[in-house]
Structures are given as C-alpha cells and as structure tokens.
Chains A and B, each alone.
Chain A
Amino acid sequence: MSKKQDILPDDESLKREFPLLHSISKENPFSVPESYFDSLPSEILEKCHTVGNGSKSFPTKAEAILTTLLSYKWRLLTVAGCAAIICIFVPRLNNRPVSYEAMVQTIPDSLIVKQLDNNIADINVSTLEELQEPGLFAKSKSDSANTDQIIAYLIDNNVSVSEIENEP
C-alpha cells in the first residue's frame, strides 16, 4: 500500500486504526423543531424582502459594537441628566437663607420700617431701655441707624410685637 493511501482512512483502515470512532453511529444526533424546514423557505424569502438590498438582518461586528455603545450611551445620558438636575437644584438649596439675619439682610430697610410703623406704633420705652447698647434711643445721627438697631434687637431677642402692644 502506498504512503498516500495510508493517509486516507477508508472504512477498513478506520476500523483498524480508530476502532472507537468506527464504533460510533454516524446517525445525526442533532434535531430541529417540528416543521422547521417547512416554514424556513417562506421565512427567508420574507426576510429578504423586508431587509432589502444593501442592508443586513443581523448586525455585523461594527453594528454590534455600536449597539453596545448606544446602550451605554443611554445609561450615561441618564446619569448625566441626574447629575445636571442635582447641579441645578443643589445651588438653589445652598442659597436659601438659613438664619433670620440672613433673611432680613435681603429685605430693604424701608420695608421693615414701614412694617414696624404699621404694627408697633406704641412701643414700650422701658423695654427698649433694657437694651444693652447705650444711647439706643437717644437722638442718633440718623434715623436709619436707630431703626436698624431696633430691628436687630427685636430679631435677636425674638420679641413678639403683640407682647409689646399688650404691655401696660
């Protein structure tokens, strides 16, 4: 027998040299769903018409990568959107005044004075005399300074306007 023929495992040589392989049935061990081949031609033809020329039914590697990136893109956009919302609202929260002093600072003095004039017409002098700052009610250089001090006192000591009004 020539060397070339030795390379060819025909049935007899297969049986002799490779007994285990030869002993196994060549019957197809795979199966398909029922009626698979009956419907396959129609399915394929429909796909050919749906996809048309020049496009592909299944993604190529580039399209698969692009699809993956796009899926991550939406996640990133979601995260970016949340971050943007946080960035928009957190500064506003931070800008809210946290104390009465800070709140009062934002209100014009004229408005406070007007409000006080309307609400505390008969302010009790003795109460005011308890102020630790001397000369509080002495004629000051400017009315706005006295007003500021009155306001500051009222706020600091949480003085109720109604209490003042009700004092004898």
Chain B
Amino acid sequence: MEGEINDSELLEMFRVESTRNHAFHILVTKYQKRVYWQVRRIIIDHDDANDVVQNVFLKVWKNLGSFKEASSLYTWLYRIATNESLTFLKQKRANMYVPFDSVSRSLSRKLEDDAYFSGDAIQKKLQKAILTLPEKQRIVFNMKYYDNIKYEAMSEMLDTSVGALKASYHHAVKKIEAFLKNN
C-alpha cells in the first residue's frame, strides 16, 4: 500500500529512474493536503494557492534527488512551502507597487467573495484578524493554532528558535483577541 512506504524508502525509489515517477506520485499523494493547507492559509485564494503548491512540488521534483536527509522529508517540504508562499506574497507586493498593508487588505477582500470559503461570519472575522499579523507571525500562528505543530518541529521548519516562536505565537494571540474585541 502506498501509505505504508516510509520516507526513506520513497527517497530510494525516487533515486532509481524506473521507479521515480511512482515514488513521486506517492510522495505528492501523501503530503499534498498538508502542504496545500499550509499554503492556503497564507495565500487565502485557492487558485493562487494551487499555483504555489504546484511550484512547491516542482521544486521538490528537481531537488529531491540531492536531499541529504538532514531533516525529515516533511520538515523540508514545509520549509519549501513556506518560502514559496512568502515569495509569492513578495511578488504580489512588488507587482502592486504598494506597501505591505495593501497586500493584507487585498487578501482580506478576497475572503469576502471567495467561493471556496465556507466558514461563518465569526470565522471570517478570525481570518481577517490573522491577516493583520506580519507574514511570519501569521505562519507561526497558523501552524500552532490549526496544526498544533510542536515548537521544536516548527523551529526546524522555520529556522527560528523555540523561544522566539513561543513569543511570536503569544503576541499573535493577543493581537487577534484585541482585533476580535474591537471589531
């Protein structure tokens, strides 16, 4: 069964040309949802998130052969997904020729008429509150609040100390609470 193949075996299969496609198909199937939702919560829009996710796995395809397994495969994927998401937002900001706040406002507006947002009004408000956070703080909040990723794993993914992540999450929660109270 595809689900029973561990990451090391997947890597071995990928390094052999005859089994590379099959290995990659298994890898994408195994991690696509986690990668997608990580990206989607940052990018908000489904079509944009789809583009970024495809870019993520394209990078994985190109670089998996030289992956040195210094970290877990999932950590490596998460890192690529985060970087690609941040790059996308940076490009969006550069193309808009406006400061950071406008990108957040643009994403917030997308929530209003997004066909693929099925949350209620309070959940929409929460998403808007999250969008007021700086990008990296938003990522930390999402990873902890929604995915409940341990700080040690998060530290590896984001290349940030555990203490800094804890402080960042705490500040994020305070800001969101204040936003919910004032809006």
Binding site for B on A (CB under 8 A): 7-9, 14, 17-18, 20-21, 24-33, 36-37, 40-45, 47-48, 51, 53, 56-58, 61, 64
Contact = CB atoms under 8 A, between A and B. Distances in A.
Nearest to B166: A7
A38 to B, nearest CB: 10
A56 B56 CA distance: 11
B73 interface: no
Q: Is the interface of B mostly helix, strand, loop or mixed?
A: helix
A48 B58 contact: yes
Max count, chain B CB within 10 A of own CB: residue among A9, A40, A44, A58: A44
Cβ-closest 10 pairs across A and B: A29-B119, A41-B28, A20-B180, A48-B61, A29-B123, A18-B177, A44-B57, A31-B118, A31-B116, A41-B29
B78 interface: no
A64 B176 contact: no
B32 A41 contact: yes
A18 B171 CA distance: 12
Contacts of B21: 45
Nearest to B151: A8
Contact of A64 (B24, B95, B166, B170): B95
Contacts of B57: 44, 48
Interface residues of B, number: 46
Given A24-B126, A36-B50, 19 more contacts: A7-B167, A18-B173, A21-B126, A24-B122, A24-B123, A26-B145, A28-B37, A30-B118, A33-B116, A40-B36, A41-B25, A41-B28, A41-B29, A44-B58, A45-B24, A48-B57, A57-B54, A57-B58, A61-B91
A9 B40 contact: no
Given A29-B124, A64-B91, A21 B32 contact: no
A61 B181 contact: no
Interface of B: 21, 24-25, 28-29, 32-33, 36-37, 40-41, 46, 50-51, 53-55, 57-58, 61-62, 91, 94-95, 116-120, 122-124, 126-127, 145-146, 166-167, 169-170, 173-174, 176-177, 180-181
A14 B180 CA distance: 14
B54 A47 contact: yes
A98 to B, nearest CB: 52
Contact of B94 (A31, A56, A61): A61
A149 to B, nearest CB: 74
A28 B120 CA distance: 11
